[in-house]
Amino acid sequence: MLDLLKGEMQALADQDKAKFLQRFFKTGPGQYGQGDIFMGIMVPASREVARKYAAAGISLADVKALLHSQIHEERLVALLILVQKYQKNPKEGIAQFYLENLAWVNNWDLVDLSAPAILGAFLLDKKEDRSLLYGLARSKVLWERRVSIVSTHAFIRKNDFSDTLKISEMLLGDSHDLIHKAVGWMLREVGKRDPATEEEFLQKHYKKMPRTALRYAIERFSAEKRRSYMQGTA
């Protein structure tokens, strides 16, 4: 089945799109996606392939082989299949598999499309034991830190904000722009559901927050309020 899947993806490959994606995902020397290889398949087409092969019952062994690929879209399809498998039959095995193979969840789109739906969903009913997210937040690996905060999107959707706020606070001093963006994004998601909770956090931290995180967090505010936050007069 794996060979069929790969053949189907090869038929979808587009060299021009691959060149664009390699620039977009910063694959040059010293950039966050250094060395990543793209086929030029866009996300909607990858979702279709994932749905088809998840429904066909592709094995976890094949998913693992696909996830360990050097090709970005193959890793993406593997993760989208895992999401489908988890949603169909939530069990600890899928979440554990995800954690064991986290080294291959190594770009921001791969994190964002999988972490809330697998790890976040798994931890939803484990409010008293989400310590592994805090361990990931302390990781030296950029993508693990992003997993830690983006996973909490699953909690936010259930109006559970405490871990998002605690992990955001842990990551305020992070040096990487992709973490600043993720923190700001999650704070904005909190604000969509509870503006007062977001503003309470911002009032405490906004003067020392990275500018990118702050810009993302206040994106839905009025122009006047955004200006006051950015100028430090909120």
Supply the pLDDT for residue 132.
Answer: 96
Helices (H), 36-161: 43-55, 60-67, 72-88, 92-100, 108-112, 115, 121-123, 131-137, 142-150, 153-156
Rounded distance, CA 167 to CA 223, Å? Answer: 28
Going by C-alpha positions, the residue among 88, 75, 91 that lies closest to residue 33 is 75
List of domains in the chain: 1-123 (1.25.10.90)
Global pTM reads 0.94
Going by C-alpha positions, the residue among 10, 9, 114 that lies closest to residue 52 is 9
Going by C-alpha positions, the residue among 61, 151, 62 that lies closest to residue 105 is 151
pLDDT, average across residues 107-124: 97
Supply the pLDDT for residue 96.
Answer: 94
Instruction: Considering only residues 25 and 128, tell me which one the structure prediction assigns the higher pLDDT.
Output: 25
Angle at alpha carbon of residue 183, lines to 147 and 203, rounded to 5° = 150
Mean pLDDT of the chain: 96
Supply the pLDDT for residue 148.
Answer: 98
pLDDT, average across residues 219-230: 95
pLDDT, average across residues 70-96: 94
Supply the pLDDT for residue 90.
Answer: 85
pLDDT tens, residue by residue, 155-185: 999 999 999 999 999 999 999 999 999 999 9
